[in-house]
Structures are given as structure tokens and as C-alpha cells.
Amino acid sequence: MKKNTLTLALLVCMAAAATFTAAGCKKQVEQIPEQDQGTERTATTEASGEVFVTNGTWTARINGVTKYTGTDYIAAIQAACNNLTAGRTSKETITIKNSGSSGNSGGAIKAVNIPSYTILDFVGTTFNCNSNDLLIVPVQGDRKTQIEVRNLRVTGNPRYGIWFKGCSNMVLSNITMSLSAGLGIRVDHSTAATSNLTINGNINITGSGTHAIETYGLDGFNIGSVTCNNTGGCAVLLNQSRNGSVGTVTGSYNNNGGGYATFRVANNNGPNVTCAKVYSRNSGRGFFSVSGSNGTTVNTVDIANSTSHGIFLEDASNTRVNGGTVSSGNPNVQHVRTSNCRTAVNGQVYTAANGRW
């Protein structure tokens, strides 16, 4: 009997120890901080969005929560934009994971309208503009700030591939366009002042009906090297824009047979504008400064086979071409009504207000 009593006591002690151990484990789990198990989105938590297509149905999600399903590619991207954190003051990103087509415009501008503090990353997918008119704008911004478009390919016939008006603090990275009509990238002050544009990475635009890249009224820009071929207008056109730099502008068949140039500054453009290099082949003109433009310096040029002027400075002031070659132009160089301008090419320096060389 004594032995049985001892055995029973031992079993009770073991049970108590097991209960204590289990309680201790439970207590440890409860002490794990809530944030280590994942947080819900708050006004200070960065949101991220994704847009993708499955069997013809587009889905937009923000932090894993579905905000749109349907057949409209543009509507899906817009829904993602519209459901990022309201009132944010830092950038949030939407990743567009599949290529899509615009469909018809319906007779009015149809666009993805990018909000302030937003990055649209297309990760190399293609936005195809296939409306029966020129009313599609893949990405449009109107009076927004801190906006970015990355890794976008555009095909077809947009009105503008990208159109920012009245915006500030804009970044465009790795943009490729293969167009059948329309204008590539336009940044202007049509609705408000516009400032601080950066274009970087691989920029390649072909087939635009007018200009590949155009600015109007822009204050502050850093445009890297760009390649723009077979355009109806300029490769790069700066209007009334100041305080900025452009890398190497490479263009062929930019307005061949016409009066536009691979690189053109116009309409009181400047001052304080620089361009590293103009490489132009078989274009209307190579470099053209006109209509009161002031204060542009091109470091070097390699211009050949222009159907009109290689270099044409008309009604320009304080404009410099510091070196390089021009050949087979009509003529190679001309100054008309210039003031304090200097063109140094082919081992010669031309400073006359008027002259044809």
C-alpha cells in the first residue's frame, strides 16, 4: 500500500510539471510582439500594388487586397493608383506585371492618371495603344509631384506616350517606344508651372508622328542620353525651358526632308542649357537654335547628310557649339541674326552674326 501511495504521488508531480511546462510555452507565444506577425496597413505604412491578367481578366491588388477585376487594362491600373494610401508624403509603387492594350478611347482622352507620390513600374511589359484615334495616353500626370514611370514599353498610336503637364519632381527611367503615330514624351506647363524632370536609363523612341521628346516651359531638367529614330519631328525639342542638361542625342531620319532637327531649342528656350553631344544622320537638320533661344551650349557634334542645315542658328544668342564635325549639309553651318554665338566645327570657328558656310 505504501508503494502504491508513492507511485500515485510521483504521477501527480509529473502531471503538475507537464502542466507548468505547457503553461510556460503558452506564455512565450503570447509575448511575441504583434508587429513580428505582420501589420495591417495604416496611414504611415507603405502600400504596394500589383496589376496582372489571368485568362483575359485584369486584377488590381493593394497589399494583397483586390480592388478591381475586369477586362479593362487601363481601369485596372487606375484602380490600383486610386487605392494607394490617401494623403501620403512618400512614394508608393504599383507593379504592372503583364502587357495589355488600351482598346478604343470612346472619343475622349483615355489615360492612366498617375497621382502624386506614385511609382508605376511596368517591369518591361508593353502598353499597346490600339484605339482607332489618337486619344490614348498611357501615363498622364496633371499638376502632380513626386511621380515616376519605370521600365515602360509603348507601341501603337498614342496621342502622347507620356504626358506630364503642370507637374514637378518627375522621373522617367528605361522608356522604349515603337510608335506608328503620335508624340513620345511631352512635359509642359499647359495647366501650371512645371519643374524638375529627370530622364535616365535606356531611352529609345522610334516612329513617332511628331517629336520623340518635347518640353515646354520646363525649369530644371536632367535628360540623359537618348536614341530616337524615324520620327516625324525632332528627337529632342526644348521650348521655353531652362536650367538643364541633355546627354548624347542620337538620331537618324528625324524629320528627313523637313525643317526640324535631331536636337532643337526654340521659343525663347534657355538660358543655362547644355547638351553633351548631337549625333545626327539623314535628318532635316542636326542642331537648330531658333526664335529667341538663348544660352545653349553643345559640347560636340557629329552631323552628316542633313537634308537641310547641319547646324542652323537663327535669332539665337549666347549659343555655342564647341567642337565636332558636320558634313554633307545644305549648308553645313548658317547663322542668321545671331548675337554672341560661336560655332566651332571642322577645324573652323564661325562667330559672324550672319553667314553661310
**Residue 152 CA to its chain's centroid (Å):** 8
**Nearest-CA neighbor of 83 among 115, 119, 58?**
115
167 is a domain residue: yes
State pTM to two decimals.
Answer: 0.87
151 is a domain residue: yes
Cell output for 267: 521659343
Q: What CATH number corresponds to the domain at position 235?
A: 2.160.20.10
| Whole-number pLDDT of residue 19 | 42
Alpha carbons within 13 angstroms on the beta-carbon side of residue 144 total 22
| Whole-number pLDDT of residue 33 | 31
| Whole-number pLDDT of residue 3 | 44
SS3 (DSSP) at 208: coil
| Whole-number pLDDT of residue 47 | 78
Question: Distance between CA 87 and CA 116 in Å, rounded?
Answer: 9
| Whole-number pLDDT of residue 16 | 44
H/E stretch holding 14 reads helix 2-30
CA dist 56 → 53, 59, 111 (Å): 6, 10, 20
Question: Distance between CA 210 and CA 54 in Å, rounded?
Answer: 36
69 is a domain residue: no
326 is a domain residue: yes
Contact (CB, 8 A) for 233 and 257: no
| Whole-number pLDDT of residue 1 | 44
Alpha carbons within 13 angstroms on the beta-carbon side of residue 102 total 28
| Whole-number pLDDT of residue 14 | 43
**Nearest-CA neighbor of 261 among 224, 289, 241?**
289
Strands 168-179 and 213-216: unpaired
**Which residue ranges in the chain fall short of pLDDT 50?**
1-44
H/E stretch holding 20 reads helix 2-30
For the chain, what is the domain count? 1
Domain hosting residue 125, numbered range:
92-356
| Whole-number pLDDT of residue 93 | 98
Paired strand residues for 274: 245, 297
Question: Distance between CA 357 and CA 104 in Å, rounded?
Answer: 51
Rg of the chain over CA atoms, in angstroms? 30
Tell me the H-state helices in 31-50.
Answer: none
Q: What are the pLDDT digits (tens) for 231-276?
A: 999 999 999 999 999 999 999 999 999 999 999 999 999 999 999 9
249 is a domain residue: yes
218 is a domain residue: yes
Residue positions counted in the chain = 357
42 is a domain residue: no
Looking up cell 529667341, which residue turns up? 292
Question: Distance between CA 252 and CA 262 in Å, rounded?
Answer: 8
Cis bond upstream, residue 271 (ω within 30): yes
